[in-house]
Amino acid sequence: MTPHQIRKYYKNNKDWIDKIHHRKNLKFLKIEIQELKGATKTHLYKSPTRNRRQSSEYKLAEINGRLAYTRKSNHWGTFCVNDGYDEYGDVIFKQLNWNLTGGDNDRKTSQAGYIYIDEL
């Protein structure tokens, strides 16, 4: 796929793709960061840095000839994210369980993973 084809796929499926990172349980397969850097891809989202914690990056990429949802982050396994605010202005937290198969969910350095779009 070309970058244009990936962007077109995203544009045509934006609502569905934008909801992937709201899922509580996801299983990613590990990919080396250098391999991900060399893949044909398009940027989706970069989370804000909080409490000096590295932001996570989300992209659509072609991996092994298939379209995949990718994530580069230093936090995997079980963690909490800000999921908005309640009527009193307090932060609502949501617990996620995003495992990195082949990676180290406890390691606090950057690792990358992917899920094939047709398996979501």
SS (H, E, C) 29-43: EEECHHHHHHCCEEE
* Distance, CA of 26 to CA of 97 (rounded, Å): 7
| Bridge partner list, 58 | 45, 71
pLDDT score, position 20: 92
- pLDDT exceeds 90 at position 94: no
Q: What is the mean pLDDT of residues 66-94?
A: 90
- Chain-centroid distance, C-alpha 40: 16
pLDDT score, position 48: 79
pLDDT score, position 81: 79
Domain boundaries, given as residue ranges, for the chain: 3-119
